[in-house]
Amino acid sequence: MHVSHAHTPSRLQLNPQGRLRHFLTTEGLSREQLTEILDFAESFLGPDGSIHNQPLLAGRTVMNLFFEASTRTLTTFAVAAKRLGADVLNIDIAKSSNSKGETLRDMLWNLEAMTADIFVVRHPHSGAPHFIASQVTPKVAIINAGDGRHAHPTQGMLDMLTIRRHAGDFTKLTVAIIGDIKHSRVARSEIHALQTLGAKEIRIIAPRTLQPRDYQELGVKVYERLEEGLDGADVVIALRVQNERMESPLLASPEEFYALYGLTPEKLRRAAPNALVMHPGPINRGVEIASEVADGPQSLILKQVNYGIAVRMAVLTLAMQGQLTTRGDA
């Protein structure tokens, strides 16, 4: 399947009333729209991080369509949907009739005919969820669970919720994102969200081979040396090195990457005192981050996983409500 890159599907994901009907990207959404997602996610969270069940999707069917492996994202979407009272189906694409020659359109139309209300889509091709929402099943709410190098909007928003809960006002924060920026859909979603929410400064820190060309256009500061980029940062986000997306070797070795860009206790001291440490996972210990940092008092990595359930509950509910309003059967 050929899918063109979908850089700005922001209009598609809103209904005529300006409410979310799909969630494909953080790009193009307003500060009010992103804040609505964060506030709604907060409503599911107790002060201790406990999640409140609410049957807002009772009687609805959520289908997780993962064309690409992911344990954490798939599991948190399934947990989120079940906490909302939805029926959940995880479709193993590798074992489905899609692998027997059935077209993507035919497979999705058949799933839609089984009264699917929401498709959570993870796909290796950038733009696939946008293609599905615009061309195949527009009456089903589509949630992007990661598409190629393009976007991972729920991960971006759970990171925003983590930052907001633990650091407060975005306008006072300097956020540094380290590592494989070039192949990271998470970094793109984070940068768009941070800009919209008014972060004081956004930095990316990466070797030249892992710096995409278009990031300076986004108004971020680019650093090649880790120590310089970390200087005074309030939030530090380490990214996974995505060897599976590299078309040719871009790093000499994991050991060299760790020596230059691995987040160690010594290097973290260059950041602001008590700087928050985050990682979207899965973690490669001793490559992107030292265990002492990942498990240390400044780390919010497990909090991110917890908040991810609340953010996905919020997005699933808002998209379903937006679809119902569009159809006129809310």
Which residues make up each annotated binding site? 72-73, 100, 122, 152, 155, 185, 240, 281-282
How is residue 253 written in tokens?
């070795």
**In contact, 202 and 237? CB cutoff 8 Å:** no
CA distances from 194 to 87, 171, 174, 191 (A): 33, 9, 10, 5
Binding residues for carbamoyl phosphate: 72-73, 122, 152, 155, 281-282
What's the rounded Cα separation, in Å, for the pair 72 and 118? 19
Report H helices in the chain.
Answer: 31-43, 71-83, 104-113, 128-131, 153-167, 185-196, 226-230, 254-261, 265-268, 291-294, 301-327
Q: Residue 121 pairs with which residues in a beta bridge?
A: 65, 144
Q: Residue 87 pairs with which residues in a beta bridge?
A: 61
Q: Beta strand pairing status for 276-278 and 201-205? A: unpaired
What's the rounded Cα separation, in Å, for the pair 271 and 247? 33
**In contact, 287 and 262? CB cutoff 8 Å:** yes
Pick from 129, 122, 147, 127: which is nearest to 71 by CA?
A: 122
**In contact, 118 and 63? CB cutoff 8 Å:** yes
Binding residues for L-aspartate: 100, 185, 240
Cis bond upstream, residue 282 (ω within 30):
yes
